Amino acid sequence: MGAGEQSYDTALRMCPSCRGLIDRGASVCPLCGAPTKPPRSRVGTGSGKLLGGLIAVPSTATSALIAVNVALYFLSWYLTQTAASAELSSAPGMGGIRGDVLVRLGAKFGPLMYTGQWYTGEWWRLVTAMFLHRDLIHIGFNLLCLFRLGPEVESLFGTAKFLVIYLVTGVAGFMLSLWSSLGSSIGASGAILGLIGVVLVVSFRYGSAGKQYRAMLWQWLLYILIISLLPGVDMAAHLGGFICGVALGLVIPEGEPETRASENLWNALAVLSVLVIAGSFVLMALQLNHTLR
């Protein structure tokens, strides 16, 4: 982000009552007089950056998602190397992962998700596929985007809403991908496009500061569109995640929940999201253990 986005990141925030832009340090809204909660620590201020402010520190949920992606990549790389050694063959270059390894670890793969009856398929692959990547370039680009966008969305909506948005948009992307093709597909791109869609909608509420931020998002969308046109890239997953993100940006209120009931609801949805992710990995591990016997 450039210096022109300073007002978006740190100077202003939205009043939870009247939704007007107010100073981030204000304890009472000067527009409506309503008390405001202390703002969450945002990336871009104080100790939230390293190397003199050049590198943002991911927030809690973003860090956890990055860690899971990295762990799954190293597991898939290890299994690729092991399989190549057993077959006395060469492993893919550039940290590449074999296709059969990705399928075993939970890639979206139609023939295993639809086995004559939809309810008998391995639907957990809609979740596990979000955390798998085909090579170093693939995971590097996706994690760079998550590193930049994750803290923004988590700060704007709160950790609970962020987790729900990430999971729902990622699953939506692979659902559209499955509808368009039964072939194999993996990657966090659908969820990342979902984050872009959410932030794009929110940016329209921030006047000139939002316009500056939106210019960066349009550039990202252009780059991703160009990449989506390359052979082997899942355009449907990208489109599904982005459309879902825009829809969620329109209906999910920004900021922390304003009532105890709303807070309990979002916390419950966040816990459910974590359980869905964890449960999907358990099912993947059971399937992997079965195939290794």
Reply yes or no on whether 185 is catalytic: no
Catalytic choice (59, 76, 177, 189)? 189
Distance CA 76, CA 82 (A): 10
Contact 103, 43 (CB under 8 A): no
Q: One of 138, 185, 238, 273 is an active-site residue; which one?
A: 238
- Other CB atoms closer than 10 Å to residue 228's CB: what's the count? 17
Cα dihedral value 138, 144, 147, 152, nearest 10? -110
C-alpha atoms less than 13 angstroms from C-alpha of 190 in its C-beta half-sphere: 33
Instruction: Based on the residue annotation, tell me whether 238 is a catalytic residue of this protein.
Output: yes
Mind giving me the DSSP string for 193-225? HHHHHHHHHHHTTSHHHHHHHHHHHHHHHHHHH
CA distance 264 to 159: 13
Beta bridge partners of 13: 22
Cα distance between the two ends of the chain: 50
For residues 142 and 150, give the distance between their C-alpha atoms in angstroms, rounded to a whole number.
Answer: 11
In order, the DSSP letters of 2-58 are -GGGHIIIIIEEE-TTT--EEETT-SB-TTT--B-PPPPP-TTSGGGEEGGGTEEPP
The closest alpha carbon to 195, from 226, 228, 129, 150, belongs to: 150
Catalytic (active-site) positions: 189, 238
